[in-house]
Amino acid sequence: MSKNSMSKIGRYSISQNFLTSKPLLFRITALSSINQKDTVIEIGTGKGHLSHVLAQQCKTLYTTEIDKELYLQAQRRLADSPNVHLCHGDFLQTTLPAQKPYKVFANPPFSITAEILKKLTQAANPPTEMWLVLEKGAAKRYLGKPAETVQSLLMKPRWNMKIVYYFRREDFHPCPSVNTVLVHFFRKPQADVPLLQWNQYERFVRHTLQYGLQGGKCLLSKRQVSQALRQAKCPPFDSNGLMLYVQWLCLFRCWLSLSGAAMK
């Protein structure tokens, strides 16, 4: 095994916390819409406990585990589940379904949360729904709580997100040092920002988060901001100055219109 592969396994294993309680696994999977017609992808098979439960609820399960020892344990546990396709490898290097719809349910290593979400949400054929066990702090960044972040603002145009379960630390082994939640991601039927405007939207978000809406480098004047919010019937900024997602969309569309950025 190469040094690079060993490095990856070490990185994944350090942040891996397993869920093994069958009642808990049935409880959290029951919160999903997964049914016998669905193709499901799991990231990080671990010892196969979650995989075994998911296999009973879906048509086909594709699950990937990078650690050889865990892969072999999962292989034994899933021997009686013919609808499971278990792969020994790195999920970040796997190919997602090109056309057919699929869902994702996983308890992935916390250390690669950003890479996993980027791969799934930016795929040519992204999942219709995802349920991911995430560190609570990371989940709040993606949900934009208490304030919108670059992660939340680049996720929300295409996805609805909601925390649907709060775990106890004792639910895992080894017990994590952070609080953990289950987040439901549901792809919007129509994105709030068209694909052709995406580069401009990302530019607007990153620039405004860095420089704000006041000062010489802001993209809109104070008057333009006020007028745009009023015309779109958006609420004004609250006393703490935090911008709501709907306000971000409103101001982006205003900037796009005024600058002609859509044509560039």
Q: Rounded to whole angstroms, how far apart are CA atoms 26 and 48?
A: 14
Per-residue pLDDT tens for 94-152? 999 999 999 999 999 999 999 999 999 999 999 999 999 999 999 999 999 999 999 99
State the pLDDT confidence band at 235, using cuts at 50, 70 and 90.
confident
Per-residue pLDDT tens for 149-199? 999 999 999 999 999 999 999 999 999 999 999 999 999 999 999 999 999
Q: Are 137 and 178 within 8 A, CB to CB?
A: yes
For residues 74-93, one letter each, b for 16 or more C-beta atoms within 10 angstroms of the residue's C-beta and e for the rest, the string is beebbeebeebebeeeebee
What are the extents of the domains in the chain?
3-187, 195-263
CATH superfamily for domain 3-187: Vaccinia Virus protein VP39 (3.40.50.150)
Q: Are 138 and 119 within 8 A, CB to CB?
A: no
State the pLDDT confidence band at 262, using cuts at 50, 70 and 90.
very low
Query: CB-hemisphere CA count at 13 Å for 168?
Result: 4
Q: Rounded to whole angstroms, how far apart are CA atoms 96 and 98?
A: 6
Helices 222-231 & 245-259, crossing angle to 10 degrees?
Answer: 110
Residue 45 is predicted with a pLDDT of: 96
Distances (CA, A) of 163 to 15, 33, 238: 21, 15, 25
